[in-house]
Amino acid sequence: MYFAALLARTEDGWEASDTELLDNVETLSDLADLAREAAAEDDTVLVLIEQEDAWFGVVRIDGEEDPRIYVSDAAAAARSSYGEILLTDELLGREPADDPDLDALDLDGTEDGEDEEEDDDVTAETVGSGEAVPHGPVGDPQVLDDLGVSEKELKALSADALTEIAESLGASEVLETVR
């Protein structure tokens, strides 16, 4: 079971809204746009995502800055559709996937007639497999430092992480209204 919520910081505190990410979001860019729409001006917005007892993720959007992401267990998140949105190549320390249009061109320097099929299979298997996804946390563990949740506290969270984060932010009541 998944739970996802947006917490938008306002002059009066935090405002929460729940969201059906799968209906509205296919990429991290879509998620950032959704979060920015929930923000009053360029205030901070947190996207909190949790898969029951498996992993949680925090995405922080501050105005037009790039999203900052923390995922508690990348390997567990990689097995979920929400996790796939958060686990970008950059977050995992991988080279970005090749542009499919460029793959169609013969830019690797091989001569016509050479068999490239074996190399392509290895690349696809490595990129598409979960082997490159580490077990444990990935991302920015200091994503909530200035909001009262230290790196050490964030890494120690487990079962009901989103509730604990919301309590630290002073937003537990507004989060519970959308849970």
Mean pLDDT of each 10-residue bin along the chain, 179 residues long: 88 83 78 85 90 92 93 94 88 71 48 45 35 85 96 90 93 87
Q: Which tokens belong to 25?
A: 């979001």
**What residues pair up with 143 in beta bridges, in sequence order?**
none
Residue 98: per-residue pLDDT: 56
User: What is the value of pTM for the model shown?
Assistant: 0.78
Contact criterion met (CB below 8 Å) for 45 and 7: yes
* Residues 6+ away with beta carbon under 8 Å from 72: 55, 56, 57, 137, 157, 158, 161
Residue 149: per-residue pLDDT: 95
User: What is d(CA 67, CA 60) in angstroms, rounded to the nearest whole number?
Assistant: 6
Residue 78: per-residue pLDDT: 93
Give the distance from CA 93 to its chain's centroid.
14
Q: List strand residue ranges (DSSP E) for the chain, in order.
A: 2-10, 13-18, 44-51, 55-62, 68-71, 138-139
Q: How far apart are the first and last CA of the chain?
A: 12
